[in-house]
Structure 1
């Protein structure tokens, strides 16, 4: 019993430490920072020059010159007062730019693989392919995308037509909604005052810096808010597809960096992290010893996979945390040496922070599920895992069947509506749309507009088979196994005392409290246990109902026969005697009066 109590205390302490490590890695001000910057840069609160509403390159240039440039350069106060020593802050007067912001473009090479079909070569000179790493432009040009020029442009304009590699930019691959883009490109830096930037952007627009060969234009800037001590990486991306469409998207990633350990909160976080590592090392040793001891039996338990998922995520999180700490130290040293006036890319630090967040989330998920193991001695709390274990084969067979059925509908919807609905433009988007239909979150307007007959028809088939029929089958499987497990638990509880009474009784016995022990021990104070069996199902009641029906029909037949005899005056037997069962009538035969 004491070993069980020790196991409870150990696991609860581990979960508390895990929660502290995970939740101190997040900041409640992060969502406020994201909301502020999204409305600040994207102008999401207005219908005019909204970044998310951009549909053409003209809209993009207008937003760039009216909204973005106005916000990255601090302006005087509302009363015309000077802003003082805040020249490197945004126009919100609370967030500082680290270095400068830059605009990077990725283009198609002139020698791209796109070829015009022979039937149209007399009408069309060239075509533009989709972006890929193989056809990316890596050559430098003069302003206007020319080989040479005699016009004397400023150095900012000339450099914006020169290709920069990832080593020069300290950048990484970026994943957009419609493609994956390289780490190099043609870069324009937002340097100078407000008027200079406006002039440069107007000149770039006239020189068609963004043209038909452009496939992605992203603005990257790195910020620091001293009020909430948050670093923020902002990326504003427009993707220009080969079809001519323009798709805007943005990503704002706030994160913390623990670069110093002189304050109490940082020291406490470091101590908690060390305790967490010791816990993981102990659990790793226990699981390795269990594998050595149980051999193949170890891998037959679901608990083993939960343990190793938590252990693997934890060790991976330790490695990512160390990498993020080293990156934070590098950024801190660079910012201190340059006083924040030089550009530095936060992209790698952002990726590390995202991966660490994912790993900590899965660790919390697995660690919380581990707490269910503490209640294995109490069957009612363990009824969930026992039900799944008992019905594993049926659930696995149903899962395979449902996966095939769902895949068939995904393929059907994709092939029917791939060119008619944006939600069916890819296999993954189609699967996501059907999954929302399963959750009863759907709008059939697009399906009906795509095809007045096929849309509602396939939608009805999907709802009928994948929602009504399959969900009913799944509920029946779970309910049947749950009923059997509950019956087994009730049968065991009749011969076993409750877990609380057992613990209190054992503690009282060890402390020498005889009276207290007698009150809770089941042998000292017997309790009459009334067991109630589960109500019989309709299937179980069927044989008895059939017997009752046969007996009722036999009675009706006997009554009708006796009535015929009474009407024929063949005997003087009363009508009450005729209603008895034939066996009972034979026993009462001596009382019949003829």
Structure 2
């Protein structure tokens, strides 16, 4: 936990809100983009002025043009525009009865139908012979003539897919960068709009920025995605992720991670011995799987962290060399987000282990035994409840799928019914969907789920809990006896080990020497003299 929270900044939330207000225009709302013309209007009137501040607070010119209006947040590289398109050609056919009305049609985006070819200016294929009388306008000097029209491939390890509202988009696309000044960025935007860089085959356009605030030592990755569907409508989504990629206390964090690695190695050895000693019993215990989860997630988080730090070091070297670092920092942020997710699961599993330490408390013991003994009847109950829930889910989707957003597909319908069971619902929307079927479905669903199924679930749990509370197994609650048995077990194991070591010690061999014949003769004469009666 110290490692996790040491890397987080309490200012990350406020930086996210600040960036949203400057780039999005509002901390709570996304840009209002409805079609291609409104997209270019937003780029020209909002995005470019927001990312290129011209004046100080006193009105004097600011020496760097790639800074937000707060004069504290800087761009790492220029803003990137990237689009994904459909391949040219007829991708679908209009129904025969409607071909005389609309002979052409288009389809939704799919990665198998994504265009990856290179084109000349204006999406003209290279194998097309241009008319000698046509003149090709000169693009702005900040880009190559064919750069926005060439497809850029990106490795899957460096760029993760984006899950949008109407499709899943990989990292590649037709990419271009805005300028380093307000004038050059405006010129590029006008050039792309004039030559129809976005057209009817465009399915999504990404606007991506990487910002850095040196005063808070925070990075922000801004992603705005506009999806153009075959309906003619545009759907906008976006996010801002603020992270601290470079740490001040790097030595302390490295020491903490080394300590974490040592603990993980200790747990690996300990759990491996338990698994080999009693494999079937070990695999059937819940806490064994918690230990395995801690080990796997722990090693995974360490690997992802060091991979992200290696990418950050590479970005620093590339920036010193004057190379473009936008894609490198973007890859580092993606990996660091995965590291954050793994760390969250790791802390969750490690915190759950506290329940095992409290098992000597009678109430905690009763609760754990209740969960264990009620598992089988609860699973049977969930099976029946799941069937009933899916019945209402399909009913809601079929009744209100074309009218209400909360029931537009099976997943959203299921989510709406689950939140309705928790008390969060919009009854007026159901009435607007259908003034008879809406209230009828609502009251029927609430009666079945709240008064019948929920009561049955509580009855199953309370019966088992009451049984465990009245007759607890006192042998499992004796902490002193547990410590005593554990101590005696450890001492007996140590004694057994010492005895085994002693048994394995080689015995000392006594050397026997042959008697000297001269000494034997002297001893015989001495005995004869003692036996002679005339000696006295």
Are 2:18 and 1:33 aligned? no
The answer to whether the 8 A contact 1:159-1:187 is kept is no
Instruction: Name the residue aligned to 1:151.
Output: 136
Partners of 2:70 and 2:280 in 1: how far apart?
62
Contact 1:21–1:269 (CA under 8 A) maintained in structure 2 = yes
Matched residue, 1:538: none
2:44 to 56, 65, 68: 65
8 Å contact 1:391–1:478 — kept in the other structure? yes
CA distance in 2, matches of 1:238, 1:377: 56
Residue 441 of structure 1 and its aligned partner are, at CA, apart by 0.5
Change (3 A) 1:334 1:501: same
Residue aligning to 1:190: 178
User: How far, CA to CA, are the matches of 1:375 and 1:144 in structure 2?
Assistant: 69
Partners of 1:171 and 1:345 within 8 A in 2: no
Distance 1:200 1:302 in 2: 60
Q: Distance in 2 between matches of 1:427 and 1:354?
A: 29
Find the counterpart in structure 1 of residue 511 from structure 2.
none
Taking the aligned partners of 1:305 and 1:501, their CA distance within structure 2 comes to 27
For 1:212, what is the secondary structure of its paired residue?
coil
Work out the CA distance in 2 between the residues paired with 1:72 and 1:287. 54
- Summarize the alignment of residues 77-88 of structure 1 with structure 2, pairs less than 5 Å apart: 77-84=56-63, 86-88=64-66
The separation in 2 between residues aligned to 1:341 and 1:502, in whole angstroms, is 62
Query: Which aligned pairs between 1:156-555 and structure 2 lie closer than 5 A?
Result: 156=143, 158-159=145-146, 161-167=148-154, 171-258=159-246, 265-338=249-322, 343-489=326-472, 492=474
Equivalent-residue separation in structure 2 for 1:187 and 1:40 (angstroms): 23
Deviation at 1:500, TM superposition (A): 8.8
Distance 1:298 1:501 in 2: 23
Cα deviation code 1:521-548 (max 9, x no counterpart): xxxxxxxxxxxxxxxxxxxxxxxxxxxx
1:256 deviation in Å? 2.4
Query: Aligned equivalents of 1:196 and 1:267: distance in 2?
Result: 43
Q: Is 1:108 paired with 2:90?
A: no
CA distance in 2, matches of 1:25, 1:383: 38
In structure 1, the residue matched to 2:3 is 21
User: Are the aligned partners of 2:178 and 2:188 in contact in 1 as well (CA < 8 Å)?
Assistant: no
Partners of 1:497 and 1:161 in 2: CA distance: 71
* C-alpha displacement of 1:204: 2.6
The answer to whether the 8 Å contact 2:312/2:329 transfers is no
Shift of residue 69, structure 1, vs aligned partner: 0.6
Across the aligned residues of Structure 1 and Structure 2, the Cα RMSD in angstroms comes to 2.8
3-state SS of paired residue (1:94): coil
Where 1:359 maps in the other structure, the secondary structure is helix
CA spacing shift, 1:157–1:454, aligned 2, 3 Å: farther
CA separation in 2, counterparts of 1:208 and 1:380? 69
The Cα offsets for residues 102-133 of structure 1, whole Å up to 9 and x where unpaired, read as 21111111125222222222221311111111
Shift in alpha-carbon separation, 1:233–1:112, aligned structure 2, 3 A: farther
Q: Which runs of 4+ in 1 moved over 6 A?
A: 500-503
Does the CA-based 8 Å contact 1:100-1:342 persist in structure 2?
no
C-alpha separation in 1, matches of 2:179 and 2:387: 57
Residues in 1 aligned to 2:170 and 2:477: alpha-carbon distance in whole angstroms: 66
Tell me how far 1:342 sits from its aligned partner.
Answer: 5.5
Inter-partner Cα distance in structure 2 for 1:405 and 1:347: 45
What displacement does 1:70 show? 0.3
Query: What is the 5 A alignment of 1:48-63?
Result: 51-63=30-42
Unpaired stretches in structure 2, ≥5 consecutive residues:
484-536
- Displacement of 1:68 in angstroms is 0.6
Provide, for residues 158-180 of structure 1, a one-character-per-residue CA deviation record: whole Å limited to 9, x for no partner: 43541222249975532222211
Question: d(CA) in 1 for partners of 2:120 and 2:285?
Answer: 67
Q: Could you say which residue in structure 2 is the equivalent of 1:126?
A: 104
Distance 1:53 1:285, change over 3 A: same
Secondary structure in 2 aligned to 1:134? helix
Give the distance between the partners of 1:51 and 1:378, measured in 2 at CA: 51
Per-residue Cα deviation, 1:180-230 (whole angstroms, up to 9, x for no partner)? 113222223211532332233233323332222111011112122111112
1:220-265 Cα offsets, whole Å, 9 max, x none, are: 1212211111222211111111111111111212222247xxx6x2
Instruction: Find the counterpart in structure 1 of residue 495 from structure 2.
Output: none
What is aligned with 1:5? none
Q: CA distance change for structure 1 residues 133 and 199 in 2, over 3 Å: closer, same or farther? A: same
Contact 2:117 2:151 (8 Å CA) reproduced: no
* Higher alpha-carbon deviation: 232-241 or 137-146: 137-146
How far the C-alpha of 1:435 sits from its partner, in A, is 1.3
CA contact under 8 A between 1:112 and 1:135: conserved in structure 2?
no
Given the two structures, how large is their TM-score scaled by the length of structure 1?
Answer: 0.74
Q: Secondary structure at the match of 2:93?
A: coil
